[in-house]
Amino acid sequence: MEISGRLAISAYFLLFAPLHSLLADPAFKSWARRVIGPAFDSWQRLAYNLLAMIMILPFLFILLFLPGKTLYLVSVPWNYLMAAGQLLLIAAMLMILQQTGAVSFLGLSQIGNRGRADDGRGLVTTGLYGRTRNPLFLLADIILWLSPIMTESLLTFNILATIYFYLGARHEERSLKAEYGEAYEEYKKSVPMFLPRLRSASR
């Protein structure tokens, strides 16, 4: 029996989403810290990122080998413009990571430092963070939907990823509120969650 790419994407998402969320859950990390010991804080972030990359590979396999029906294919020159837009957004994401601390985000600065990033940045509210609270999730979602070719499997993946980005942003904001307290509450009052405001509220 032929396996549907849409079904495969959906089924694997039901495995990926809970596991990926569990690994980022503060309660789970507290338990793992007690079991593993001090080394957990030094290696947790790097291990989390590497595991996430490995867990994404089945999605790529399904999208490549079980694409399903092609829903649309954008013609020249619009497909080049969409691809250029994706590249620009990827560059913007790299700039955001640089602003918030790319080395810390990857988990490299925590190694041998008992898990402390020690980048001195604190709560970042400037740049794109002065227009939207979740620029990385927003840009990643736009990159997905800017694809000049859309298959049944990719459409399924994009819908599920968009939902997961929203849930992931909510989860991350709870962690930021716990870490920064009132400062983050004030930040939330002036900056929208996703849709960027035209005027920056950076301070």
Look over the chain and give the mean of its residue pLDDT values, rounded to a whole number.
91
pTM score of the predicted model = 0.91
Q: Report pLDDT for 1.
A: 47
Residues whose CB falls within 8 Å of the CB of residue 92, separated by 6 or more in sequence, listed in order: 128, 135, 139
Encode pLDDT of 171-201 as tens digits: 999 888 988 999 999 999 999 999 998 777 6
